[in-house]
Amino acid sequence: RLQGDWSSDVCSSDLTTPSLAPEYYGYTFVVDGVKILDPLNRYTHVNFVDLYSDILVPGTPPRPWEVTDIPHGDVTRHLFTTHIGLHYPDNQTAYVVYTPPGYDAKRKGGYPVLYLLHGFSDTEDGWTLTGRANLMLDRMLADGKIVPMIVVMPRGYGDFDVVAPQRATGAAAAGLNDRNITLFGKILTDEIIPSVERLCNVAKGRDNRAIAGLSMGGQESTTIGLTRPELFAWVGGMSSAVPRSDYDTHFPGLDAKKANLRLLWIACGTDDRLITSNRAFATWAKQKGFPVTAVETPGAHTFVVWRDDLLAFAPLLFR
């Protein structure tokens, strides 16, 4: 986000920041101690906990997350009733689907699928509205860097109270995070994947299925990917909220040979508070014999890092 000791006279419309690299940035105004959105900016980060306005610092040439004159895929949103998730209003949740340019519903063999998970407090639109994942996928396809794939971005909560923890009390609050991860895994495997495979022309088998996510979604993707290898051959975590230690307890009975993952990709920004736990997790996974690719890049816990992560991860898939 745009942060710093910047101020301007209340009668002035001008504000000068330090030079910023080409990127999307979030910002808010503080008026009499109250944080507000920019009333003249229609681009808003949609979030269950926090809102802020978005601004683009464009690049020359344009960066992969900018709109350019290339073929674009379609982004559709699918609402459904969950019979597994808890505390959703009217039991309604959703997922977003990206289909590549030229998507052919009758193509022989179908398309591989990446299940791409957002972080805590984001919606199912986090990767498209804020992350601009669809534009980056378009760019990578136009440049021949990735294979055509479907990307599914679910609303990643098993217990919706996790974004309103004041509603949970006592034992329910104590087990909220673990319950959220466990139930979301069941929503994904028992409700979302079957729905996607009914609606889309999907290639069959684990080698054509990947899962990755950021922060909370990174914890979900590594947990689901390591414990359900019969479903996913490609697993990625970006700044994952993995446990800090005792991985054998959190992931009991793992057998790297039986799992036979094609890739376990673990990335984190070097200025991220989660870098230590991600380093420890990568070391543990390597010792277990998993095919770990550990990536560290400059940056903190922001989409500035996660956009670059997706640009590095997606070209590795389904080769």
Neighbours of 44 (CB within 10 A): 15
What does the pLDDT average to over 293-299? 97
Q: What values do phi and psi take at 312, rounded to 5? A: -85, -35
Q: Once rounded to an integer, what is the mean pLDDT over residues 274-301?
A: 97
Task: Return the amino acid letter for 67.
Answer: V
Residue 150: strand pairing partners: 113
Average pLDDT over residues 81-93: 97
**Residue 290 clears pLDDT 80, i.e. is over it:** yes
- Alpha helical stretches, state H, 147-302: 170-174, 176-187, 193-199, 216-227, 247-250, 256-259, 275-287
Q: Please give the pLDDT value at position 168.
A: 58
Give the mean model confidence (pLDDT) for residues 175-180: 91
Predicted pLDDT at 3: 44
Confidence of residue 169 (pLDDT cuts 50, 70, 90): low
pLDDT of residue 170: 58
- Of 21-30, 82-91, 136-145, 197-206, minimum mean pLDDT range: 21-30
pTM above 0.85, yes or no: yes
Q: pLDDT category, 167, cuts 50, 70, 90?
A: low
Residue with tokens 């069959």: 204
